[in-house]
Structure 1
């Protein structure tokens, strides 16, 4: 399949009074045209910063140190600000995690929806107004004509999130980056938004990157999954491989923390003990080693490479090395030691 996006060796740091925070430490991923992928991991793992680096929307103290970002044949790592303005909102849309800080409080919702249509699609104000009303209706906002004249503070949290989604989709971008798009929504609206995203994906051949903590959402939408931890990708592969044949202890921990309604015997969810690594002083070896039940000496001193399990399924864990102690994971992602 033809690749729409390819990120190679991306490294992003933030320079603070306490020192350099190495938020993204060598991320590589790709996205095919018309494909939906998921990026999962706990807060602070570098998911959102990876996408903000792609969009070149980092704050002043953020810097892309290394890496290449190729989008539809263009090297965005070398693009200037004027070139990026033509891409943001037009070819790449993004649903931000916090809609209240993403929407401009002094402009109406209608103005903010119409602006990209007038700027990128060269529509008249009348055409842009009609298109914006249509998008508000699509994302489930009642009385869209009336809502066009209102300001963000007049919307509830869920409605602001839906307006943000409408804004990111209004230009029918080639790539939609959705950063926790259903966080503030109730279950019914969540289902409607996911169906809308899937419908647009099939109708206009739009590609999707879904950033979320909800593994159920990822399973419903995405064909491939990247699991991130400590600013790195620790496991990647097809959704079926991540859910039914996980190979990294961190992925096992994520799956163990999900309730399974089909289980006859109800068990307590098992949290991942410990805390994420301090990226001011990131670990020399595997970033998950201090929290892992299967840590070996090499895990503390050397960072594992990406071992290929099979057919595009990779795990950055020394347990996947041919000479490592053998472990397997059951359907819940619980690691089980195997003696031979």
Structure 2
């Protein structure tokens, strides 16, 4: 049975106009999301992950602009909606957890006031109803003594607690889509695991679709059904979580996998960073954006951008090595098949 689509991003191109020229931050990205599904968007800083989502939310800075493409959310193209129309969707149908909870929470308003605001605005609740709902949400995300916590200010919360408040705020109106932008950055490992477990539970409990943005493949492994690997403002590889971890088909994905520990290996293995720098998006390369850093690069990689080759069911990779006439290269990584 075919799953129902919630979101379809088609050939999205977003640029920023600066004093030194046009920065082509997103160069033609296509991503699908089904209802009740969690997908990951992974890549280094500057790969276009957050800008893709800021384009979706209509939260680009003044010098940013969507140049081309469609963002179809439940049949509506968000790229064509006015700011007034987007305000009705943000926080109501689409919730977002931003990278830094301290700068995302207002320091002069109580936690309760900030949690109640979207409920009063979008759901037209009374103050009493909004208070009860906000207390329920704090309890849902595991904050003890939620009643007394409602009267406190952000500076009275730890980093992990503030992140839980951000999740409660993003989920208060029961959005159909939750975007989590690096939700575990700057949190210690124990809190990180708790936040990820919480997101999994909430996905199962209220059937919210999730887009998890991170630079860490390890973070998405346990939460996401599918992964999109981004590089240089483009999708380099997309597939199920199993495909990306066990059957990767792009040298950039191989590099990311080599830079995280593999607990299944018996012998110790030195982690290997990806040498070089991401491409300059003021002057994007004409060929594959990863070519300059790729040890397998061929002449065509420098001259022509590769299409997304179909390399398996629902698995695509934008690398010329997947062309039928390309030399055969054995992937240096891949976690090995399991019997799960």
Q: Please tell me the TM-score bracket, short chain as reference.
A: over 0.9
Contact 2:258 2:271 in 1 (8 A): yes
Question: How far 1:328 sits from its partner (Å)?
Answer: 2.1
Which one of the candidate residues 46, 49, 53 is aligned to 2:48? 46
2:320 is matched with which residue: 312, 318, 321? 318
| 1:45-85 superposed Cα distances (whole Å, 9 cap, x missing partner) | 00000000000000101111111000011111111111111
Q: Any residues of structure 2 matched to 1:138-217 within 5 Å, and which?
A: 138-217=140-219
1:180 CA displacement: 1.1
Correspondence 1:1-340 to 2 at 5 A:
1-332=3-334
* Partner Cα separation in structure 2 for residue 189 and residue 138 of structure 1: 16
- Please, what TM-score do these two structures have when normalized by structure 1? 0.94
Query: What is the distance in 1 between the residues matched to 2:203 and 2:18?
Result: 39
Per-residue deviation, residues 27-49 of structure 1 (Å, max 9, x unmatched): 00100111111100011100000
In structure 2, relative to structure 1, the CA distance for the partners of 1:21 and 1:333 (3 Å cut) is farther
Deviations 1:191-236 (A, max 9, x none): 3322322222223221111111222221111111100000000000
| Range with greater deviation from structure 2 (12-21 or 185-194) | 185-194
CA drift of 1:133 comes to: 1.6
Alpha-carbon distance in structure 2 between the residues aligned to 1:172 and 1:328:
45
The alpha carbon displacement at 1:141 in A equals 2.5
- The answer (yes or no) to whether the contact 2:7–2:74 under 8 Å persists in 1 is yes
CA offset digits 1:152-181 (Å, max 9, x no partner): 233232222221111101111100001111
SS in 1 for 2:330: strand
TM-score for both structures, normalised by structure 2: 0.94
Structure 2 segments unaligned to the other structure (5+ residues): none
Conserved in 2, the CA contact under 8 Å of 1:36 and 1:208? yes
Whether the 8 Å CA contact 2:258–2:333 is kept in 1: the answer is: no
Aligned residues: 334
For 1:282 and 1:210, how far apart are their aligned partners in 2? 26
Shift of 1:330: 4.6
Cα distance in 2 for residues equivalent to 1:195 and 1:121: 28
Give the SS at the match of 2:222: helix
Contact 1:224 1:236 in 2 (8 A): yes
TM-align CA RMSD: 1.5
Deviations 1:117-143 (CA, angstroms, capped at 9, x unpaired): 111112111121121122222223333
